[in-house]
Amino acid sequence: MVYEPKKVREGVYEIPKQGGMRVPGKIFASQRLLSAIQGDPCIQQVVNVATLPGIMGFSIAMPDIHWGYGFPIGGVAAMDVQHGVISPGGVGYDINCGVRLSVARLTQDELVPRLEVLAGELFSAIPAGLGSSKAIEKLSGPRLKELVCKGARFAIEEGFGEAEDLTFCEEGGALRGADPECVSQRAYERGASQVGTLGSGNHFLEVGVVEAPFQPGLAKAFGIEQNQVYLLIHSGSRGFGHQVCEDFIKVMDTSSKKYGISLPDRQLCCAPILSEEGQHYLGAMAAAANFAWANRQVMLALSRKAFARAFGVSQEALGIRLVYDVSHNIARVEEHTFNGQKKRVCVHRKGATRSFPKGHPLVPEAYAHIGQPVIVPGDMGRYSYVLVGTELALTETFGSSAHGAGRLLSRHSALKKAKGRSIVQELKQKGILVMARDARTIAEEMSEAYKDVEDVVEALEIAGLAMKVVRLRPLLVLKG
């Protein structure tokens, strides 16, 4: 069936409730972005998610929407805790994949002469690529169980970073409710040697410069200055989170039948949130989320050391400070006002990030007076953005925003488009140095494989889900 989203207002389109849909679908996009996904299965996925028990308000899609497992990537669904379901497909395989933005006491003029040296130091310090491992000593089972309970704090206690870093992470770098006993032995085996590693695919480490702020006052409040050097790390829970998802898809496939949940797509397999299976998944998912926060914390610490070696100064002199760490593949129980009443809801955000306004209780104290930083990375040849959360996002999307540019081409299509070209040389001509363990990854991740992040951010602003603060321009990108 072909669904034609109807324009509700500028930047907002709705799919009316029909068939088995319990709520309408809502897509936040410009006409240009919407046209790019016409006929794409991700629109059908928005409709499918709308059929899930306990879904509240709308089945929501962000401007970077594209096809994913069960839920679309860029999908948001809030479930009533009492009557709703939890679905691994609404979180994804890379649990708590997210981005961590830091800034340094360096300018572009200081960075450029040392760029190749820095690239070498970072490439040496942080393992990247499929199955990458051994950034730090392999962790034993008991130590891994401690890590998945403590998250980023575990890394700091091991000497990777400072306690102050925790104040600039969502959830303080650890999601409550992690249950290490709900995680399989296979997940522990896969994660044991992968803490502090970048991984493959769209994961990256990016160094660049801050361009002129759109909102100088807000940029200053975030501690971001024009021409300042930034570091952006995009990675998640690696093989540990992948295994947790794989394990629970099997569990939920059985649970869907057990609880008589009718699904339009088997990939939406789920269980009631308050069921034993639902609670076990949430415990294991929180453990994987904490693995990811520890992973990014270690990579930040390794990056600080690499910068210090490249510039021949102390880490203190460089002052690499964490601005914020956000997750964009996660489900969390939050309190939201719905139809005038406060309710506890489980918000699935898959390829979507929080967008909370000033004064929200879940915004860190340092940013309480301005709102949460919303980090939207682009592709390796264009830009990334820092935005700030809004009040409207709370009412329209349960406090959610886009997480990135969003794929436009499959990896296979990108490889075909890159055939006969040197993407590395093309980027070098733009002043961007790119290094990767596998040349194929660079082709798969070429700029044309993604929507223009500028279009995505513009759609967010028009819809009122976030407000632009500053644009970031890459000079160095490391891939798997």
- The per-residue pLDDT for range 365-379, each reduced to its tens digit, is 999 999 999 999 999
Tokens linked to 297? 């914390």
Report pLDDT for 319: 97
Q: Domains, the chain, ranges and CATH?
A: 6-93+332-367 (no CATH), 98-331+373-479 (3.90.1860.10)
**Would you mind telling me the total number of residues written for the chain in this entry?**
480
**Active-site annotation holds for 336:** no
Choice among 242, 280, 328, 403 that is catalytic = 403
**pTM, to two decimals:** 0.96
Query: pLDDT of 291-328, one tens digit each?
Result: 999 999 999 999 999 999 999 999 999 999 999 999 99
- Contact in structure between 352 and 426 (CB atoms under 8 Å): no
DSSP for 379-448, written as a single string: -TTS-EEEEEE-HHHHHHHSSEEE-S--BSS-HHHHHHHHTT--HHHHHHHTT-EEEES-HHHHHHT-GG
| Averaged pLDDT, 184-199 | 95
**CA 401 vs CA 178, 322, 359, 372: distances in Å:** 25, 21, 18, 11
Query: pLDDT of 102-141, one tens digit each?
Result: 999 999 999 999 999 999 999 999 988 677 767 788 888 8
Query: Residue 21 has what DSSP assignment?
Result: -
